[in-house]
C-alpha cells in the first residue's frame, strides 16, 4: 500500500525534489522507478562526510567508546520504532531543529468517558461530552475540573447540531429534555445554563448553578460513528476481516475499483478530489460506491450504490494536490449493519500528536513495484510524522501545505500504494475511531524517507458540514 492516484490503468502521480523549493508532481506512464534527485545525492553526501569526520576522531578513546555504543548497540537491538527513527532523522537532516523535534508532543485534550471535544474559544474555553445511557450533555467551562449538566432552556436543536458536529459526528439524531426526578444525581452535582443574552452558539457564556430551575436537563443523541462491532484482528497478517473497518468504501467506475473512500453517513462518502478529477469526463451514472466489502471478487453479487452528486473541494489543485478531498452524495442510503457504518470526523481542536499509531486500509498495490493489486482489503499501522520533519530537505522539501499531513516509517517498511487513494487514515481515541487523513500522494511506495502524504481532514470540517447541510 503507498499514497497514489487512482488504480485505473498505469497512470500515477509522484513527487520529486528538484531543489530546495516545493516538490514537483508529474504524471508518467508505466511503473518506472524515479531517478534519484540531486537533493537526495546531496543529503547522502552530507551524511557520508559526517560519518568520515566521526571516524577521524577514533584516535580518542572517549570518542571511540561513543561510536561503539552508537553504532554497535542499536544493530543488536530490536527494530527502531517510528518515533526513534524520527528523532534520529531530526538530528541528521539539515534545516530540522533537533531540539524542536525532540520536545514531547502531548495531546491538548483529556479524554474521559465519552469526552469528544476540546473547544478553545476567544470568549470562554468550553468542553463537551455526552455521558451514560441517558446521553446526558455535560459541559466543562473555563478549565474547571467539574462537569456540569446542562439545563434545558436556551439550548435549541441548532446548537445541539453544532455540538454534535464539534464532537466529530455529522448530524444530530435526537434532542430532548430529561426530568431531574428520572435520574440519579450526586448531591454535589452542579448545573450549567446557556445565557441567552449574547446570541452566539458554542462561544456563549455559560453560567454555573447549584440547581436547575427548569427541573429538566438536556439529552443529546448524535449520529453514530467510529465504532467497530466486528473488530477482531488477524494476528501476523494484513488481510482484513469483515467488519474490521466498517466505514471503508470502494469507489468504482463501472466494474473497476479506482479509489477508496470513507463512509460519513448513509448518504455521504468522502474520498480524494484527484480521484474524481482524473475521471471528470466520465458519466455520473457509471460511478458506484461499495461498502461492507472485503473481497472485490464479491462485487458481482453486490450492486453497490449509485452516486447522485460528486462535490470536489472548490480549491483543489491538480498541480500539488492541495485541498485533495471530495464528497460523494449517494442516490440511496447505505444500510448500516455490523459491517457497514460511519467513521467519526475529528473533533474540533482534537490533536493527534506525532508518533500516534494510526491505520490505513485499501485494495491498492501490495508491493513497491506496482506489479500486484490485492483482491482482499489490506491494512497496516502507520505512525504520524510531524509536518516540520516531513517538509525538511531530506524528505519533501516544503511540498506539504497546511492541508496535508504525513504518516509512515522513515525506513519505508509500510505505506499506502497505488489504488489506495481516497481511503481512510484513522486514529483511535478510546474506543472511537476518527478520520484523520485521506490517502492523497507520495513519492513511490514505502520508499525510505518518503512517508505517505494525506489530506488533513481537520482542515475541511467547516466545508464538509456546510456542504452536507446545504444538500
Q: Quick one: CA torsion of 118, 247, 162, 207, rounded to 10 degrees?
A: -40
Q: How many CA atoms lie within 13 A of 427 on its CB side?
A: 24
**Chain Cα centroid distance, residue 403:** 12
The Cα–Cα gap between 102 and 108 comes to 17
Angle, in degrees to the nearest 10, between helices 38-55 and 61-76: 130
**Is residue 230 left, alpha or beta, with left meaning phi > 0 and alpha meaning psi from -120 to 50?**
beta
Kindly state the DSSP code that residue 463 receives in the 8-state scheme.
H
Catalytic residue among 7, 322, 324, 420: 324
152, 175, 267, 274: which one is catalytic?
274
CA pair distance 396, 90, nearest whole angstrom: 14
Following CA atoms 102, 106, 107, 112 in sequence, which dihedral angle do they give, to the nearest 10 degrees? 150
Write out the three cell numbers for 62: 572517549
Three-state DSSP state, 202: coil
Q: Do you know the residue count of the chain?
A: 471
**Kind plus residue range of the DSSP H or E element containing 439:** strand 432-441
Annotated catalytic residue: which of 421, 429, 434, 440?
A: 421
Grid coordinates representing 110 are 483529556
Residue with cell 454555573: 208
Cα separation, 374 vs 75, whole angstroms? 34
114 is known as an active-site residue: no
Q: What string of DSSP letters covers 116-182?
A: ---B--SS--EEEEEETTTTEEEEEETT-SS-EEEBSSS--HHHHHHHHHHTT-SSEEEEEEEEGGG
d(CA 391, CA 399): 6
> Cα–Cα distance between 310 and 329 in angstroms, integer?
7
> What are the grid coordinates assigned to 7, written together?
488504480
Specify the DSSP element, H or E, that contains 436.
strand 432-441
Rounded-to-integer distance, Cα 367 and Cα 440, Å? 18
Q: What is the CA radius of gyration of the chain?
A: 25
The partner residues of 256 in beta bridges, in order of sequence, read 253
324 is catalytic: yes
Q: CB–CB of 262/301 below 8 Å? A: no
Q: Which residues are catalytic?
A: 274, 324, 421
Amino acid at each position: 500500500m503507498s499514497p497514489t492516484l487512482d488504480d485505473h490503468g498505469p497512470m500515477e502521480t509522484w513527487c520529486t525534489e528538484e531543489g530546495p523549493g516545493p516538490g514537483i508532481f508529474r504524471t508518467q506512464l508505466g511503473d518506472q522507478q524515479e531517478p534519484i534527485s540531486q537533493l537526495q545525492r546531496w543529503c547522502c553526501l552530507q551524511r557520508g562526510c559526517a560519518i568520515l569526520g566521526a571516524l577521524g576522531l577514533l584516535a580518542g578513546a572517549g570518542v571511540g567508546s561513543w561510536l561503539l555504543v552508537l553504532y554497535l548497540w542499536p544493530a543488536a537491538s530490536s527494530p527502531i520504532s517510528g518515533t526513534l527513527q524520527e528523532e534520529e532523522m531530526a538530528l541528521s537532516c539539515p534545516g530540522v531543529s533537533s531540539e524542536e523535534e525532540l520536545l514531547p508532543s502531548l495531546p491538548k485534550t483529556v479524554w474521559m468517558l465519552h469526552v469528544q471535544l476540546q473547544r478553545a474559544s476567544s470568549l470562554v474555553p468550553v468542553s463537551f461530552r455526552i455521558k451514560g445511557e441517558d446521553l446526558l450533555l455535560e459541559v466543562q467551562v473555563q478549565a474547571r475540573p467539574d462537569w456540569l449538566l446542562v439545563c434545558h432552556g436556551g439550548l435549541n436543536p441548532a446548537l445541539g447540531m453544532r455540538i454534535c458536529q464539534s464532537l466529530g459526528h455529522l448530524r444530530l439524531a435526537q434532542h430532548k429534555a430529561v426530568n431531574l426526578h428520572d435520574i440519579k444525581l450526586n448531591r454535589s452535582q452542579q448545573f450549567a445554563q446557556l445565557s441567552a443574552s449574547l446570541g452566539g452558539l458554542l462561544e456563549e457564556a455559560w453560567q454555573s448553578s447549584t440547581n436547575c430551575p427548569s427541573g429538566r436537563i438536556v439529552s443529546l443523541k448524535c449520529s453514530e460513528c467510529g465504532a467497530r462491532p466486528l473488530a477482531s484482528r488477524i494476528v501476523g497478517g494484513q488481510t482484513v476481516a469483515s467488519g474490521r473497518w466498517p466505514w471503508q468504501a470502494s469507489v468504482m467506475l463501472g466494474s473497476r475499483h479506482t479509489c477508496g473512500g470513507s463512509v460519513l453517513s448513509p448518504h455521504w462518502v468522502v474520498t480524494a478530489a484527484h480521484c474524481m478529477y482524473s475521471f471528470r469526463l466520465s458519466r455520473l451514472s457509471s460511478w458506484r460506491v461499495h461498502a461492507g466489502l472485503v473481497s472485490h471478487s464479491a462485487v458481482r453479487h453486490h450492486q453497490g450504490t449509485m452516486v447522485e452528486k460528486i462535490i470536489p473541494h472548490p480549491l483543489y489543485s491538480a498541480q500539488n494536490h492541495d485541498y485533495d478531498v471530495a464528497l460523494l452524495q449517494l442516490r440511496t442510503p447505505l444500510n448500516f449493519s455490523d459491517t457497514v457504518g460511519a467513521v467519526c470526523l475529528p473533533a474540533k481542536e482534537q490533536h493527534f500528536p506525532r508518533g500516534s499509531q494510526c491505520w490505513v486500509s485499501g485494495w491498492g498495490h501490495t508491493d513497491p513495484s506496482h506489479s500486484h493489486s490485492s483482491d482482499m482489503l489490506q491494512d497496516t499501522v502507520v505512525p504520524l510524522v510531524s509536518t516540520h520533519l516531513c517538509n525538511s530537505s531530506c524528505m519533501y522539501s516544503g511540498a506539504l501545505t497546511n492541508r496535508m499531513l504525513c504518516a509512515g516509517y522513515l525506513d519505508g517498511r509500510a505505506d499506502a500504494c497505488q489504488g489506495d487513494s481516497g481511503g481512510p487514515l484513522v486514529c483511535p481515541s478510546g474506543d472511537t475511531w476518527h478520520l484523520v487523513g485521506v490517502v492523497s500522494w507520495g513519492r513511490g511506495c514505502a520508499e525510505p524517507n518518503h512517508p505517505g502524504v494525506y489530506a488533513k481532514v481537520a482542515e475541511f470540517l467547516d466545508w464538509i458540514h456546510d456542504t452536507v447541510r446545504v444538500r
